[in-house]
Chains A and B, each alone.
Chain A
Amino acid sequence: MGETLKLFGWKVSPYSHRAEVALRLKGVKYEFIHEDLANKSDMLIRYNPILKKIPVLLHGDTPIVESQVIVEYIDEVFDGHPILPKDPYKRAEARFWARFIDEKVRPQVWMSCWTDGETQKSFIAQVKESLAILQGRLEGKKFFGGDSIGLIDIMACSLALWFGVMQEVVGLNLLNEDDYPELCQWGEEYRNAEAVKECLPERELIVGFFAPRKDRIFAKKAPVYD
């Protein structure tokens, strides 16, 4: 396939990272186009008119949106490092855990950082339960995918970096080595993996996004981009 690959993304976003790491694992060339989310480009809106979100992968003229959909697409189209297993049962398992992380864990983690009082206590309890479940899922392996990075690892990337940063900004310490040694070890392995290192944002970049907007994000319970 000689068609060009362009990725509309934003370095601070873990969703954008997911798409980048998949491309890097496959060793395919792509052009990264930085999107200012306070000022979305015409091109982004043209390629993702309904959801207007990043990441958007443009393969030739065709846009692919939604980070998990993009990762699965990349896995299907490009040879090389397998992101999903070949066995249908293991694939279904990987997809289940990916959804669990995205639809249950990620919102719990987010809300545990941006609420207070009894609401926060409730979210903290949920996060603790989810982290324990995920740690159990690792079963002593290097990655959720086994010896190498797979779909679950990619979808869990927030736990390898972003959660740690947000915790620091808001003064929480839920994901720590004492309580979750294997999960923290996984985080370290993930951050140090070659394909990941090439596209992981600097910690300071993420701090630089959250710290000055702390009060506004707390008020809105959602990211604020300007």
Chain B
Amino acid sequence: MSEEVVCVDFWANGFGMRVRIALREKGVQFELKEEDLRAKERSALVLEMSPVLRQIPILIHHGKPVLGSINIVEYIDEVWKEGPALLPADPLDRAHARLWAHYIDKMLFSTQTKFLKSKGEAKEKSKAELIESLKQLEQVLGDGNYFGGDEFNFLDIMLIPFSSMFSGYEEHGSFQIGVECPKLMAWVKRCRERESVARTLPDDGEMYQLHKAWYGIE
């Protein structure tokens, strides 16, 4: 193979879904190596390619590792110029996209984890924070079809994997995201029609079942 591209990932890893969607958007052929995150130890491959953090996803290109989902998507965009541009052209738009990607990782991800892990009053509090974060992101979406405006791009890729947990959040918190954030749900539906997303996102039910087992949710 002239361009060896390997993605080390776990089927239910939202951060890894970003990478797989980005590769598929660009039409890049890649080999997927499954790493089971339920195992106590990471595989020899992960320990070799990601010695400091021992995390996935890992993109291995020409035998060299690229780490961190946001970094990997930027790398994919910079290396494979033939497919659609994943990051916006204008530096201000790029700064905007990077800021909200950072917000998703810092605020949304930690809030959703807290929400899934907690019970009682703490759960109600983090449920409110989760809805607030989603509403904030819905505001960023505005009236566009995508976070990229008319084009599906970077920020859409950053957020869409979380949608595979939306029905899980709803069941866990007895609420409906469609009621709280109708525009966001319309965006989810639109994104799921894209081949790259449809091929990558796992079954919602399976995602929630896995997380239930992981976090000890009854």
Contact = CB atoms under 8 A, between A and B. Distances in A.
Nearest to A134: B52
Interface of A: 50, 59, 62, 64-66, 68-70, 72-73, 76-77, 88-89, 91-92, 95-96, 99-100, 104, 133
Interface string B82-110: 00000000011011001100110000000
A96 B102 contact: no
Contact of B99 (A65, A96, A99, A104): A65
A204 to B, nearest CB: 32
B99 A76 contact: no
B75 interface: yes
Nearest to A64: B95
Of all A-B residue pairs in the complex, the 7 with the closest CB atoms, nearest first, are: A88-B78, A92-B75, A76-B91, A73-B95, A95-B71, A92-B66, A64-B95
Q: DSSP class of B's interface residues: helix, strand, loop or mixed? A: helix
B66 A89 contact: yes
Given A88-B79, A96-B67, A77 B102 contact: no
Instruction: Report whether over half of chain A's contact residues are helix, strand or loop; otherwise say mixed.
Output: helix
A37 B12 CA distance: 41
B100 to A, nearest CB: 10
Contacts of B33: none
A57 to B, nearest CB: 9
B78 A91 contact: yes
B98 A91 contact: no
Given A72-B94, A96-B68, 14 more contacts: A62-B92, A68-B98, A69-B95, A70-B95, A73-B91, A73-B92, A91-B74, A95-B68, A95-B70, A95-B71, A96-B66, A96-B67, A99-B71, A100-B52
Contacts of A59: 92
Nearest to B97: A69
B53 A100 contact: yes
Interface string B43-84: 000000000110000000100101110111011001100000
Contact of A99 (B66, B68, B92, B136): B68
Contacts of B64: 89
A99 B53 CA distance: 11
A66 B102 contact: yes
B91 A77 contact: yes
Contacts of B70: 95, 99
Given A59-B92, A69-B102, A73-B91, A50 B71 contact: no
Contacts of B72: 92
Contacts of A96: 66-68, 71
Nearest to A86: B78
Contacts of A99: 68, 70-71
B160 to A, nearest CB: 21
A136 B60 CA distance: 22
B64 to A, nearest CB: 6
Contact of A92 (B52, B74, B92, B98): B74
B74 to A, nearest CB: 7
A59 B136 CA distance: 24
A133 B52 CA distance: 8
A104 B54 CA distance: 13
A151 to B, nearest CB: 12
A1 to B, nearest CB: 11
A54 B66 CA distance: 30
A69 B74 contact: no
A68 B67 CA distance: 17
Contacts of A72: 94-95, 98
Contact of A69 (B66, B68, B75, B98): B98
Interface in B3-40: none
B68 A50 contact: no
Nearest to B98: A69
B17 to A, nearest CB: 19
For B66, B70, B79, B95, which residue has the most chain A Cβ atoms within 10 angstroms?
B95
Contacts of A66: 98-99, 102
Nearest to A70: B95
